[in-house]
Amino acid sequence: MKKSECARPSTPDTGTVGPLRDLLLRWREDASGTYQTWFLWEERLKNFRSIRRGIGEVVREIEQGTFGNVYKGSSLETVVGSIAEQRQIFKGADHAFLWKPKLRIPDIYENHANQLAFARFLDRCVCCSDEDTILESIQALDRQRIKGLGPAVGNLLYFLHPTLAPPFNTAMVKGYNRLTGARVKLGRWDEYLAMRSGMLRLNEQYRDMLSNDLGALAGLLFDLGVERYPAPPQEDDPHARATWERDLADVQTTAKKFEKSRTTAEKEDRTHTEIQGWLRDLGQALGFAVWVAANDRGRSLGTGRLGDGCLEALPSVLGEGPGAEAVRLIDVLWLDPASGRVAGAFEVEHTTSIYSGVVRLLDLALGSAAGTAHGLFLVAPDEREEDVRAQLRRPAFSRVSDLQVRYLPYSELERHREAIARFGQGMKPIEALARRLV
């Protein structure tokens, strides 16, 4: 692979070291920046395993010849769609995979050989754990010269190997170029790899303020790319430094255009937590032991925490069995206090990808002896019912019909929860409220 002729040195000049550290300090504390709204967002972590599993499903379907020749309705659309829903930073992630008939791209739908090469690439990356194999796989895919299949695939790689493969989109590239003075372009794997090398060096240099997970640095680049923040000056010029510091100080003034996305994200988190709280309280009133998702337990709710009064650990038959990592992240579980078996499992899908929630329910039902083949509920706003039904009609969820996953609308839960808490027994009242999906 030829090194990009356009890529200049991929790390900033020493003159930016002080300013960049100042920028990182402000960025980490900014309630509207991607560090707070996306990287520290609890729901982000829940998606890694489900996306990994979805990529495995894409590979399986291609190898078995059942993938088909269209993007819409495919297992690939399901996976990429769940990435695109990862708040603003991944908005538009599906554009690169949409079939463009006039251009015949990306050429993995009509060309079966290309489709198989794509599957082999994904399979190798799913199974590997080392940097060399990832790089060799990228180079092998690049040699195939599959028209229209470029570094947007890096977004899939990120959810497989977040410490080794950064995500890649227009805003991140713009931010990287503004920060480093490079001229990385979209659409070529060598450009992606050059940017990756520079990002790894930056990440190592500022590890104390970033993370092993390259998503943190990618979030900073995204914010620079959309001009939420001005990039530090390239030269050690006192006048340029002073000008940049004034611009940085003005960020709070210009932040109003980003305020809407921040307040929307906060409202989504509050609503999600509130619904979890309803389910927690209702489960306890009905006499169940209640488990709240491990990464949500510390969320504020009323005068306490969401995890108050809930189990501190899952019963061993759940916490040590297959799929335990996913089970711990299910929003709310109701368990029989005597046997530890799951009576009801609830995934709250306020605005996040329905795909990830369904995968966690499947892991519980199919991978644990204490799981349940019934009592599986997707809890969502009334207006998302058709979205929920459409998602479950996808081939990737063919097992759902056997498991009788039900849809529980917010309005029904809100209207009847107090009466159920006072007079209800067992799972029957909730089952009566919920609607069958398939």
**pLDDT of amino acid 91:** 87
Relative orientation angle of helices 354-367 and 385-392, to the nearest 10 degrees: 50
Contact 408/430 with Cβ under 8 angstroms?
yes
> What is the residue-level pLDDT of the chain in tens, covering all 438 positions?
544 444 444 444 444 557 899 899 999 998 888 999 899 987 787 788 888 888 998 999 999 999 989 898 888 998 998 888 777 789 888 899 999 998 999 999 999 999 999 999 999 999 998 999 999 999 999 999 999 999 999 999 999 999 999 999 999 999 999 998 899 998 999 999 999 999 999 999 999 999 999 999 999 999 999 999 988 887 666 766 676 566 566 655 555 555 555 555 555 556 889 999 999 999 999 999 999 998 888 888 888 999 999 999 988 878 776 678 888 889 999 999 988 889 999 999 876 667 778 888 887 887 665 566 578 999 998 888 888 887 777 766 766 667 778 899 999 999 999 999 999 899 999 999 998 876
Place of tokens 């240099």: 205
Provide the strand spans (E) within 192-314: 289-292, 300-301, 304-305
Distance CA 124, CA 137 (A): 7
By DSSP bridging, strand 376-380 and strand 342-348 are parallel
CA 210 to chain centre: 19
**pLDDT of amino acid 9:** 42
**pLDDT of amino acid 217:** 97
Place of tokens 């009133």: 285
Contact 177/150 with Cβ under 8 angstroms?
no
**pLDDT of amino acid 240:** 61
Distance CA 76, CA 144 (A): 20
Identity of the residue numbered 247: D
